[in-house]
Structure 1
Amino acid sequence: MATTRLQATPLGFQVLLALGTVYVVWGSTYFGIKIAIGSLPPLGMLGIRFLVAGVILFAFLRLRGAPMPTARQWGASAAVGLLLLGGGTGLVTLAERDASSSVAAMVIAVSPLFAALFARLWGERTGGREWLGIGVGLLGIALLNIGELHATPLAALLLILAPLCWTFGSQWSRHLPLPSGLMGSAAEMVTGGVLLLALSFIMGEKWSTPTAASMWALAYLIVFGSLLAYSAYMYLVAHTRPALATSYAYVNPVVAVLLGVGLGGETLGALGWVALGVILTGVMLVAWPKKEVPAIKGTT
C-alpha cells in the first residue's frame, strides 16, 4: 500500500486578485442596480448590460485569435447564462424594486451554503472548517437582518430563488463543454443578454427616457460589474473550491451596506456593525487554506 501527501496550495496572486474584484465590485453593483432601475426596466437593463459587455469581450478575444465557440459550446453557454444572469442576477434586480440594495446583498449571502450542497451532487466535498465558516457567515446575515432593513414577501422569495439559480448554474458549469478562458464568460454574457432582452419583451416592460444617473450606473455595471467582475468570478469557479468561489456573498453585504449608509441614506445600528464583523469571520474560515492531508491509495 503506497502513501502520499497532498499539500494545500496557497492562494495565488491571480486567485487573490479575482477574489478582491468580486468582493468589492459586486458589493457595489447592488447599489448600482438600484440606481439603474430607477428609470430603466429591470430585465431590459440587465439584457443591455450583459449583451454589450459580452459583445465587447467577444470581439476583443476574437481579435486576439481566440477560437469561435462551437454550436455545442454556445448551447452550454446559453444554459449557464440563463441560470446565472437570468435566474441569478435577474431575480435580484426584480427584487430590488421592493427591497433595499443592502437587504438584497444580505439574502444572497446564502450562496456558499447552496454551492456546497450542489457541489456534493458532483462528488465534491466540503470540509468541516468550510461548513463552520458558512454557519458563522449565515449567523452574521441573520444578525444584520434583525434591524430595520426588510423586504416585501415577494422580494424575499425572489432573493431566495436567485442564489439557487446562481449556485446551481455555477456548479453545473464546471461539468459543461464551455469555451475555454474568458471566451466562456463572453459567450455566457452574450447568450444571457439576448435571453434577458427576450424576457423583457415577453413581459412587456415599458421603456422611457432614462436619467443621467441610470445611464452612468448602467455604464458602471457593464464595465466593472460584467466585463471585470463576472470574468473574475468564472475564473474562481474554474480554479477554486465552491465555498471559496462563492465567499463573495459574505463580503458583498459589507460593501453594499457601507454604500447604502454612505450614499443611499440607510442607517445601521450597533448590532449591524457587529454582524458585519461576524460575516468577515465567516469569510476567513472559508477562505483560509486547507491543511495538508494524507491521501492513501492502495488495493485491498
Structure 2
Amino acid sequence: MSTSKPDSPPPATPASDPAPGSDPIPGSDPIPVDGGPTPTAPGRITGAVWTALALVYVVWGSTYLGIRIVVETMPPFLSAGARFITAGLLLAAVVAWRHGTAALRATRAQVGSAVLVGLLLVLGGNGLVVLAETSVPSGLAALLVAAVPMWVVVLRAATGDRPPGRTLAGVLVGLAGLAVLTSPGLSGTVRLSGVLLVVAASMLWSLGSFSASKLSLPGNPFTGSAYQMLAGGVAGVIVGLMRGEHRGLDPTAFSTASWLALGYLVLFGSLVGFTAYVWLLQAAPLSLVATYAYVNPVVAVALGALILDEALTWPIVVGGAIVVAAVVVIVSTERRKK
C-alpha cells in the first residue's frame, strides 16, 4: 500500500502507498473541515483532482518496486519509519514556509484524529506491506492490495450506506480481475504468511481511508498529512526496535540501490504521493480516489517485470485488462452522478 502502499499506500496512504491501496465509501462527499481550504466542489471534478489522481496512480504504483529494493538490504520497519518521519518533517517545513507556522496549528482532537489515521494508513497499511515484501514479489503485493474495495464496501454496508449498483458492479469486476491476476501467485511459490500480511494491510488501509472521511482532521490537509506521516513513522521505528531490527545493524552494508530507492520513497512515495492522496480524500469523491487501487497493480506488475524480471504471464495481461475495465466503470459512474 506503495503510505503504500498499504505501500504503499501507501500510502495512501501514505499509505501510503499503498499500499494499500479501494472503493472507500463510494459516492460519499468530502467532509468540510473548519478553517481549512475549501474542498473541490462536489458538482464537478477539476483538473487539479485529475492531476493528483494521476500522481497517485503512477507514483504509488512504482512504490511497490521501490519497497522491494529497499528491503533487500534494509530492515523493513526501521526503513519505513525513517522514510515517513523524514517526509513528515519535510512536509511540515514546507507548510510553515509557505503559510507560516500558524498553518501547523490544530486542536487536540484534530491531532488525535491525524495520529489515528496515520497509525492505520502508515503503520498498519504501509508497514505490513513493507514487511510482506521481504518474501512477496512487488507485483503480487500490489495485486493483493487491490482487494481493498471489498473491505471498504463491507465497512460502508456496516454503516448502512450501500454503494450504487454500477459502483458495486465495478468493484465486482475489479475483484474478478484480481482473481485472474493472483491465480498463478498463490500456488505455493510464495509464503502464505506474506500473503496474509498484505491482506491485513489492505484491511487496515481501508479502515484508515474510511476513518479519514469521517473524522475532524487539521484544517490544512497538508498539515494533517505531515502529522499522519510523523505518527506512523515514529510508530514504525518503535515496532522495528521491538522486533530487534537494530541488532547487528550495519548501515555500510546497505546497497546503493536501497539508498536510492529509500530516497525515492521519501520524496515521491511519501511526500508527493501520500500528500496527493490525503488531499484527494477531502477534495474528491472517495469512490473516485479509490480507483487507484485498480491502477496501481498494473503499474507495479509492469515495473516488476521490466526491472526485477518478475513473471509476466497471460493471466496478468488478461487480469490487467479486466482491472482497467473496472476503473472505467467506476469513474464513469461517478461522473454521471455529479
Q: Structure 1 length as normaliser, TM-score?
A: 0.90
Residue pairs, 1:1-300, within 5 angstroms? 9-63=43-97, 64-65=99-100, 66-148=103-185, 151-180=190-219, 181-206=221-246, 207-209=249-251, 210-288=254-332, 289-292=334-337
Cα RMSD of the aligned pairs, angstroms, is: 1.8
Correspondence for 1:297 = none
Q: State the AA in 2 paired with 1:291.
A: R
Q: What is the CA–CA distance in structure 2 between the aligned matches of 1:120 and 1:234, rounded to whole Å? A: 23
Asked if structure 2 preserves the Cα contact closer than 8 Å seen for 1:144 and 1:271, the reply is: yes
CA deviations over 1:33-60 (Å, ceiling 9, x no partner) = 0001111110001101100000011111
Asked if structure 1 preserves the Cα contact closer than 8 Å seen for 2:140 and 2:185, the reply is: no
Q: State the AA in 2 paired with 1:15.
A: V
Give the 3-state SS of the residue equivalent to 2:227 in structure 1: helix
CA deviations over 1:90-126 (Å, ceiling 9, x no partner) = 1111111110001000000011222232234445441
Going from structure 1 to structure 2, the CA distance change for 1:147 and 1:58 (only over 3 Å counts) comes to same
Going from structure 1 to structure 2, the CA distance change for 1:266 and 1:105 (only over 3 Å counts) comes to same
Structure 1: unaligned runs, 5 residues or longer: 1-6, 294-300
Structure with the greater alpha carbon radius of gyration: 1
Q: State the AA in 1 paired with 2:137.
A: S
Q: State the AA in 1 paired with 2:149.
A: P
User: CA offset at residue 69 of structure 1?
Assistant: 2.5
Going from structure 1 to structure 2, the CA distance change for 1:129 and 1:156 (only over 3 Å counts) comes to same
Q: State the AA in 1 paired with 2:289.
A: A
> Quick check: 240-249 or 275-284, which moved more?
240-249
CA deviations over 1:136-163 (Å, ceiling 9, x no partner) = 1111111111225753110111111101
Asked if structure 1 preserves the Cα contact closer than 8 Å seen for 2:42 and 2:285, the reply is: no
Q: How many residues align?
A: 287
Give the 3-state SS of the residue equivalent to 1:11 in structure 2: coil
User: CA offset at residue 11 of structure 1?
Assistant: 2.5
Going from structure 1 to structure 2, the CA distance change for 1:215 and 1:242 (only over 3 Å counts) comes to same
Q: State the AA in 2 paired with 1:224.
A: F
Going from structure 1 to structure 2, the CA distance change for 1:148 and 1:78 (only over 3 Å counts) comes to closer
Asked if structure 1 preserves the Cα contact closer than 8 Å seen for 2:92 and 2:104, the reply is: no
Q: What is the CA–CA distance in structure 2 between the aligned matches of 1:122 and 1:52, rounded to whole Å? A: 36
Q: Structure 2 length as normaliser, TM-score?
A: 0.81
Q: State the AA in 2 paired with 1:23.
A: Y
> Quick check: 97-106 or 262-271, which moved more?
262-271
Going from structure 1 to structure 2, the CA distance change for 1:242 and 1:112 (only over 3 Å counts) comes to farther
Q: What is the CA–CA distance in structure 1 between the aligned matches of 2:113 and 2:203, rounded to whole Å? A: 18
Asked if structure 2 preserves the Cα contact closer than 8 Å seen for 1:8 and 1:292, the reply is: no
